[in-house]
Amino acid sequence: MQHGALIGERRGQQIRKLLAMDEAESVVENVHDSHDQAELIKEIAMYDMKNLTKIKKLGELAPDAFKGFMAFDEAAFKGGAIPLKYKELMAVAVSLSTQCPYCIEVHTKKARKAGATEQELAETTLVTAVLKAGGAITHGTHTLE
C-alpha cells in the first residue's frame, strides 16, 4: 500500500479513536512507517481540544473583531423563534458538514445539554450526510454532456 493511501485510509479512524479514547501512543505505534507516524502525530496535535484555550489569545490580539464575533455568536444562539436545542442540532449538522472536530465536539455537548437525544443526533448526522451526497449528485450533472 502506498504511503498516502495508508494515511488516508487509517487517518479518520485513528484520529476518532485518539480523540475518544486518548490512546495516542498505541495508535501511532501501529503505524509502522516513520513518515506516516510523523504525519499522524502532527494531525493529532492539530486537532487537540487544548488548542481551544488559545481562543483567549485571539481576543487579546484582535479585540474589536473578536468582540464582534462573540456578540454575533451570542445573538445567533439567543432565544427566539427557534429553540436552543434545534439551533444546536443545526450547529452539529454544519459542524459535520464542514468536518470541524472542535465544532462537532462543542456543539454536540451543547445539543445534549439543551436536551438533544442520541436519536436526534443520529438523525442530524444522516440528514447532513444525505444533503452532502445530494450536493455531489446535483453537481455531478455538470460533468455530463
Distance CA 89, CA 123 (A): 10
d(CA 40, CA 14): 9
Domain presence at residue 128:
yes
Taken in order 13, 15, 18, 19, the sign of the CA dihedral is negative
Q: Is the dihedral of CA 54, 112, 91, 137 positive or negative?
A: positive
Residue 66 within a domain? no
10 Å Cβ neighbour count for 31? Answer: 19
134 belongs to a structural domain: yes
Give the number of C-alpha atoms closer than 13 A to the C-alpha of residue 133, restricted to the C-beta side: 6
Task: Give the CATH number for residue 97.
Answer: 1.20.1290.10
Whether 23 is in a domain gets the answer yes
Task: Give domain status of residue 71, yes or no.
Answer: no
Domain region containing 107: 79-143
pLDDT tens for the chain, 145 residues: list them.
Answer: 454 444 555 555 555 555 554 455 555 455 556 666 666 666 666 678 888 889 999 999 999 999 999 999 999 999 899 999 999 999 999 999 999 999 999 999 999 999 999 999 999 999 999 999 999 999 999 999 9
Q: CB–CB of 93/129 below 8 Å?
A: no
